[in-house]
Chain A
């Protein structure tokens, strides 16, 4: 069992999953900041 080295496949998978998290939370943060900006500009 290769429990000392992480396989290349697993390494790429891990990077892809982290990239997905960053992209998606980035999208949510962008939308939140856009809405906050709209809140500051409009009389809500």
Chain B
């Protein structure tokens, strides 16, 4: 018993479903291509958008934490102590949120490589305040 009735149909596809399988194949190719590209480029894109390699990973982590908790003094510990408390435990008091059954964060949106500018401005401020 041949699985397909005509030689031109792929294995497993009967004539009733030939059209459907053709369109599914096209959709699958689109999704597969997109996922392959996303899998390869997401991390580089995210890292570069937020200032790497100008800022080190630890700096990017710290700057994001400062935006998240609206506090210039928090720092990303690296390496994080293995049995330490959750990272946010120590910083949570400064976070700006509108609380309720549907919480709403109040931190600021970060633009393309804006973290680099923020970081440099802070260093300049600290240097100026020292002199």
Contact = CB atoms under 8 A, between A and B. Distances in A.
Given A6-B15, A10-B14, A1 B5 contact: yes
Given A1-B5, A3-B5, A3-B6, A10 B16 contact: yes
B3 to A, nearest CB: 11
A6 B16 contact: yes
Contacts of A18: 20
What secondary structure prevails in chain A residues at the interface with B?
Answer: helix
B16 A17 contact: no
Nearest to B27: A21
Count class of interface residues, chain B: under 10
Interface residues of A, number: 9
The residue in A3, A14, A18 that gathers the most chain B C-beta atoms within 10 A of its C-beta is: A3
B17 A10 contact: yes
A14 B6 CA distance: 20
Contact of A14 (B2, B5, B16): B16
A41 to B, nearest CB: 13
A40 interface: no
A3 B7 CA distance: 12
Interface of A: 1, 3, 6-7, 10-11, 14, 17-18
Interface of B: 2, 5-6, 14-17, 20
18 contacts: A1-B2, A1-B5, A3-B5, A3-B6, A3-B14, A3-B15, A6-B15, A6-B16, A7-B16, A10-B14, A10-B16, A10-B17, A11-B16, A14-B16, A14-B17, A14-B20, A17-B20, A18-B20
